[in-house]
Structure formats: C-alpha cells, structure tokens
Structure 1
Amino acid sequence: MSRLQIISAPSVLGLKPGGVAQLGDSLLKAGLADDLHPANPVIHVPDLNGSYSFERDKTTGCLNSLQIRDFSSILMNTVSTKLSKENFLLVLGGDCSILLGIMPAMKMNGEPGLLFLDAHADFYEPAKSPTGEVADMDLAIVTGRGPELLTNIGGLRPYVVDRNVIHIGQRDAEETRKYGSQDIADTQVKRFDLKTIEKIGISNTTDAILEYMKAAEPGSYWIHFDTDVVDDEENPAVDYRLPGGLGLQDIEKLLIGLLSTGKVAGMSISIFNPLLDPTGETATRLARCINKPLRNYHQDR
C-alpha cells in the first residue's frame, strides 16, 4: 500500500490575504484523509504570509516576488525529501503559486509531467496581468515564461516543458483575450478545455488523456487541482468566480482515471476559500470528491 504524506503549504503570497490559507484545515476537518491513514503527521511549511505586500515589485511586475521565491525554495526542499515510489504526496494550499515550489522538486528527479486542472489558463505575463498576482501566471512561470527570479529557482528552468503539460477544464478564454494574455493555445501544452470536455464527455476525455500520458515521455506526473475548475454552482467558495465548470462527479471520475496510471507522484489542491463556505457544505463535497480516488489508489498500490 502506498504511503500518504500530507504537506500543508497555506501560502497566499500569489493571491491575497484571506481564506485560502485555511484550505487545508477546512478540508481535513471536513473529512479529507479520514480513512486514508496517512503514514506520518502533516508536515507544515512556513507560509511567510505575514510579509505580504500589495505593491508590485518594480523589477518583476509581480506581487511578493521575493517572498514567493523564498517560500517556493522551502517547499521545494520539503517536497524533494518526500518524493519516492513509496510515498504519495498531498500538498494542501494556499493559492496555486505553490506549484513554483512543487515542480522544481519534481524536476530534480527527471523531466516531469503536469496534469493541470484549472478554470483559468494561468498564463499571463506580469505586464498583462490585471492584478500582478502570481496565481494568475503560475503555469506560465513553471513552463519557463516570466521573471528569472521565479522561473529559475535552483537553476531548474523550465520546471516542466510544454509538451509534458495537460491543461484540463479551462473556461476563461474570453477573459484572457480581453486582458491580452499570451495564448496557451499557441504552445505545445495539450489542452482539454471545458467546451471540449462537454462535447465529448468526461469518459472520453479521461481516455484521451490516458492515451496521451501513455505516449508521453514523463515517468512521473503531478496533479494540480485548482478547485475553481469545479462548477461554480457546486463550488462557489473561490475568490475569482466564473460560471459553469466541471461537476464534482466528473472530477472524481477523472482523478480515478489519472491515478490508475500509477504514474502520479502527488497532488496539490488550491484556491478553495473556506470563508466563502460558511456552512461547510462545499468543503464536505470537495473532501468526498477527493477521498474516493485517493482511497482507490492507495488500496490498489
């Protein structure tokens, strides 16, 4: 049986101060991992949130560039020490800039793959980002686009190459055009946007992704689950809402399929904001959605 190691990484440096820092505590309280029997206690990574600044760095054009670099270095070292064939890592954010600490750690063990579930492309250049928040440019950064300070932590740029990235569930294409973001469609990133998934169905989408993974070069993948990929009616507890999205049942089926490959080293969860979920109902639904795939995976290993 594979060993589950939970890592708490509640950084909001790539977004803004607020509820996403409570994501891990909220989901664990809602039952996440209750029947998964983690091998060891939760590892808590210092979040550096107390040093948050609302002013863009003049050199990088991003908010909190130095703080994110420092936090990412800490997280990178933590993840790298726990990555192994025997462990499955579950990293609880925070915002999705936590990928800047995870993917360099994956790169240390060879060319990785990234399964990126997100309603947004997260492909802005700092100058085009309407906010300067690294959470809206994290995929661009981990593929080597952006300021050297963030794209080359540990001298590992790019942390993942375009052809080894599969983006799942995007539905912000109109918004990215409005702000002039660089277009993810102009890259080698494999894309299954929401319109495509709705057209062919989640089962066919999952099969297509598994075929792509089978033919691709990475021996190990990371899943990044930004919870705003979930249908807005099922998960309204996110800071930047968009109508539509994938149903939780679809996410569950997809995760079961991805984990069945045996090629996934771990998963990160980000962006869920418990302060926007006063009854705790959304946290409970998310915890259930994640638990079944992880339970099946660990029983099969």
Structure 2
Amino acid sequence: MDVLRIFGVPMDLGQTRRGVDMGPSAVRYAGLQERLETLGYEVHDGGNIEVAQVEEIKDRDETQSVPEEHARCLPEVSHVCERVYQHTVASVDAHERVIFIGGDHSISIGTVAGVAHHAAVGLIWIDAHADINTPGTTPSGNIHGMSVATLLGDGPRELTGIGQPGAKLRPEQVVMIGVRDLDMGEREKIRQSGISVFTMRQIDELGMGTVIRLALERLRQYARLHISLDLDGLDPEVAPGVGTPVPGGLSYREAHLLMEILADSGKVRSMDIVEINPILDDR
C-alpha cells in the first residue's frame, strides 16, 4: 500500500490577506484524509509546520538582501520554506507521496526545491497568476507572487539558497495552466523564458483533455511530476474562498478531469494545494 503523508503549512506571510493560514485546518475538517484512505492510500498526517504570526514580527532583519517593501517578511518566509524543503526531502527519500496544504503560494518554493533535490522534476502550475515577479518587478512586495521566478533562480538569495543554491528548475520544466491575470513585467518575462503556458482561451478552444495531454507531452522526459494547485486557478463561482479571485477560471469538471489525467500518468508523487481562505468562502 502506498504511503501518503500530509503536512499543513499555515503560511500567510507571503501576502497580506488574512485568513489563508486557516486553510490546512479547513481542508482537514472537510475530510481529506478519509477521502484519500478510500482511494487505498495509507495516510499519515505530519501535522503543521510552524509559521510565525505576523503580529509577532517586530524587528526587521537589516541584513536581508532586498528592502522589506520589495519582499515582505523575507526572513520568516525563507525560514518556513526551508522547513518545508526538509520535510519534502525526507518524504521523497522514504518513497512516500506527499501533499502540502497551504497557506499561501510561497510554500511552493520549499516543496519544489525538495522534490527537485535528487532529480529533475516537471512542474505543473495551476494558477490564475504566473507568480514570476521578482523584488525588482513586484507591484506589491508579496512573495507569493515570486515563487516561480525564485525556482528559476531569479530571486533573493534567502529564497534561491533554499536546498541546493541556485535555480531548481529550467523554464522547459514548467507548464502553467489556467493563467489569466499577468502583470506587464510578467508577460514579457514569460515570452522571453520559453515557459509553456496554457491560457483559459486555449482551454476553451482545445478542451482540457487536449491541453493536459499536451502538457504531459511537454514534460515527457521527467519521471516525476509535482503539481502546484492554487485554488484561484478555478473560477470564483467554484472556489470563492481565495484572496485574489479572477473571473473566467477552470470549472469544477475541468479541474477534475485535469487531476484524473495527471493521476493516470503515474508520475505524480507530490503536490501542494494553496491559497485556501475559509474566511472568504461563502459556499
């Protein structure tokens, strides 16, 4: 029986909308472990990785590599992502499947660094946003919008240094699905990078089945895939409990088919589910 380990990461430091730290508790309460057990997994809940409360952060680290306003709570986010990285590596080494429940999307800096520690991995990024800003381009200073850039090696040293220093991915290892809200700087960066992006228009025109099979073909050389699911990739009518909702997202059935085909590939061993904000969920 396959072992699947769950970790909660109640991180809300990578953005400013309160409530996303309640995501792990909400997902557990909804019965995630029981659902996974019915699928035949031996599920172990590893509890929550400790995250500092924003109210507890008093003295700023004057030695950090970028100003606070360009990367908010950088030392604290880095510390949590380092812990996430360590837990990910331990689960991979134990040949366990692993799911991390956020928390904001900055936790993927640690999860992807962990799964990429021993071998190259393909990343499927399901999100309304590309999260490819840097401290030099960010309009907000929120680190959850810098995760992909950091994983490509373009970010503060405190984050690019997690795990093996430097880039954890090359652009050809990344496929984005459902992107529909990009900053101007992100548009140009994606064009230059060569990252494969499937927009909602392409999903509408081609259908999700075709899109995800094209994504898998793009990543065919990688034996392991990591899935990073930001709930704002779904339409707000389906998943209203997110901090940065964008209309025109994935339907329930599109998201379900996406996950079914990914599961059928046999390559998915790790996943993070992020940006769940129960305070904003009115369903």
Q: TM over 0.5: same fold?
A: yes
8 Å CA contact 2:132–2:147 kept in 1: the answer is yes
Identity among equivalent positions (%) equals: 26
Residue matched to 1:136: 145
8 Å CA contact 2:85–2:163 kept in 1: the answer is no
2:110 maps to 1:87: no
Deviation at 1:82, TM superposition (A): 0.9
2:248 maps to 1:258: no
Residue matched to 1:268: 272
Residue matched to 1:75: 84
In 2, the alpha carbon distance for the partners of 1:164 and 1:53 equals 39
Flag the 1:19–1:203 CA change in 2: closer, same or farther, 3 A: same
8 Å CA contact 1:107–1:156 kept in 2: the answer is no
Residue matched to 1:103: 112
Q: Tell me, what secondary structure is at the counterpart of 2:112? A: helix
8 Å CA contact 2:131–2:145 kept in 1: the answer is yes
Residue matched to 2:242: 238
In 1, the alpha carbon distance for the partners of 2:94 and 2:253 equals 28
8 Å CA contact 2:6–2:45 kept in 1: the answer is yes
In 2, the alpha carbon distance for the partners of 1:3 and 1:70 equals 27
Flag the 1:17–1:53 CA change in 2: closer, same or farther, 3 A: farther
8 Å CA contact 1:12–1:20 kept in 2: the answer is yes
Identify the structure with the greater strand proportion. Answer: 2
Superposition TM-score, scaled by structure 2 size: 0.89
Letter in 2 for 1:9: V
Residue matched to 1:206: 212
Deviation at 1:276, TM superposition (A): 0.7
2:13 maps to 1:9: no
Deviation at 1:33, TM superposition (A): 2.8
Once the two structures are superposed, what CA deviation does each residue of 1:255-297 show, in whole Å capped at 9, x if it has no partner? 111121111121101011100124xx3xxxxxxxxxxxxxxxx
8 Å CA contact 2:235–2:249 kept in 1: the answer is yes
Deviation at 1:250, TM superposition (A): 0.5
Letter in 2 for 1:44: N
Of 124, 136, 139, 1:115 maps to 124
Once the two structures are superposed, what CA deviation does each residue of 1:3-31 show, in whole Å capped at 9, x if it has no partner? 21101111111112621111111122122
Deviation at 1:32, TM superposition (A): 2.0
In 2, the alpha carbon distance for the partners of 1:64 and 1:49 equals 11
Of 170, 175, 197, 2:179 maps to 170
8 Å CA contact 2:230–2:273 kept in 1: the answer is yes
Unaligned runs of 5+ in 1: 282-301
Once the two structures are superposed, what CA deviation does each residue of 1:170-207 show, in whole Å capped at 9, x if it has no partner? 0013xx12x67653122121111111111111111122
Residue matched to 2:194: 188
Unaligned runs of 5+ in 2: none
Deviation at 1:89, TM superposition (A): 0.6
Q: Tell me, what secondary structure is at the counterpart of 2:219? A: helix
Q: Which has the larger displacement, 43-52 or 160-169?
A: 43-52
Residue matched to 1:25: 25
Of 223, 226, 230, 1:226 maps to 230
In 2, the alpha carbon distance for the partners of 1:52 and 1:227 equals 28
Q: How does 1:145-156 map to 2 (within 5 A)?
A: 145-156=154-165
In 2, the alpha carbon distance for the partners of 1:156 and 1:172 equals 30
Residues paired across the two proteins, number: 274
8 Å CA contact 1:128–1:181 kept in 2: the answer is no
In 2, the alpha carbon distance for the partners of 1:32 and 1:41 equals 10
In 2, the alpha carbon distance for the partners of 1:56 and 1:165 equals 33
CA RMSD after TM alignment: 2.2
8 Å CA contact 1:125–1:182 kept in 2: the answer is no
Q: Tell me, what secondary structure is at the counterpart of 2:32? A: coil
Deviation at 1:254, TM superposition (A): 0.4
